[in-house]
Amino acid sequence: MAYRVAMLFVLGLILVGSMVQMHSAAAETLMQSLVDSRISLAFRVNPAALQRWLPATWQSDPVASGPSKDANLTVTFVDRLLDLTGEGKPANPATYRVVALGLPAKDQAGMTASLSMLGFNSSPTGAPGFYKTAVPASVRREQTARGANVEPGAVGESWEMKDPKGEAITFKVEYQRGTPTRAKGEGKPRSAADPTIWRIYRFEQGVDVVMSVPEGINRTQNVQFKASGPELSKIFDGSEKLVSITAVPFYTRQTVLP
């Protein structure tokens, strides 16, 4: 009898646990599924230049360790190969390009997050976007790749971004490929315009750090980066330091609302 009671108790705990997990999953709403190819630059810029982009009660929180140690700003060049809605249908448009600026930050309570600071989106429906920080822009990418047999090969990247208000970014690099590190992760980025706006990213990606000052890695040649315009020139004033360059040949993600 005691054994049966104990087993019923254990089964009850399992059932309750399963119901909690089912409720948690049911509470989430799948908004988007993505397939991207990316390359990301991490910079150390003048902290005062970032202050005006930070919400009240938030402060810059530079990367503490790793290939991008001490960086306080990222510029990510995104070639969106496929954008699907939560229903699994192609978005309109399903292919476009983005240049996204983000910064690691924390609030007074100690919560940390990656803040979406500014996005330049070539999709006609991409601005102001979910985070209310995107602006319409023209974004162009050119990429060349060469290799033979089992060698990793080499890649050339060229990006150009222009928006109607005169903001512009150009980036060019050549690099030798390495073996990508395959990783899964979850992020909860927030809006720099309103940090109460956030969602969950569940992603899988291949990461190839082609340049890192902290880790002494450099498989790049002919690196050129220039940012200009009313806002960007205040951030990239000539004092910025490029900390790392990370190639992301494949990036898949599900975007869900909690």
Summarize pLDDT for 97-112 with one digit per residue, the tens.
999 999 999 999 999 9
Mean pLDDT along residues 132-152: 97
- Which of 137, 149, 155, 160 lies closest to 224, judged by CA? 160
Confidence of residue 7 (pLDDT cuts 50, 70, 90): very low
Cα separation of 218 and 150, whole Å? 21
In this predicted structure, the answer to whether residue 19 has a pLDDT above a threshold of 60 is: no
Span 50-56, average pLDDT: 94
Band the pLDDT of 25: cuts 50, 70, 90.
Answer: low
Q: Which domains does the chain have, with CATH numbers?
A: 30-257 (2.40.400.10)
Q: What is the pLDDT of residue 139?
A: 98
pLDDT at 17 over 80: no
Model pLDDT for residues 55-108, shown as the tens digit of each residue: 999 999 999 999 999 999 999 999 999 999 999 999 999 999 999 999 999 999
Tell me the pTM: 0.89
Say what the pLDDT of residue 23 is. Answer: 42
Q: Give whole-number Cα distances, 143 to 79, 159, 180, 215, 249, in Å.
A: 11, 9, 18, 26, 12
CA 182 to CA 204: how far, in whole Å?
7
Mean pLDDT of 41-67: 96
Over residues 17-28, the mean pLDDT reads 52
Residue 26: pLDDT band (50, 70, 90) is: low
For 87, the 3-state DSSP assignment is: coil
Q: pLDDT per residue over 149-206, tens digit each?
A: 999 999 999 999 999 999 999 999 999 999 999 999 999 999 999 999 999 999 999 9
Is the pLDDT assigned to residue 9 strictly greater than 70?
no
Nearest by Cα to 168 from 116, 239, 231: 231
Task: Indicate whether 30 pLDDT > 80.
Answer: yes
pLDDT of residue 11: 38
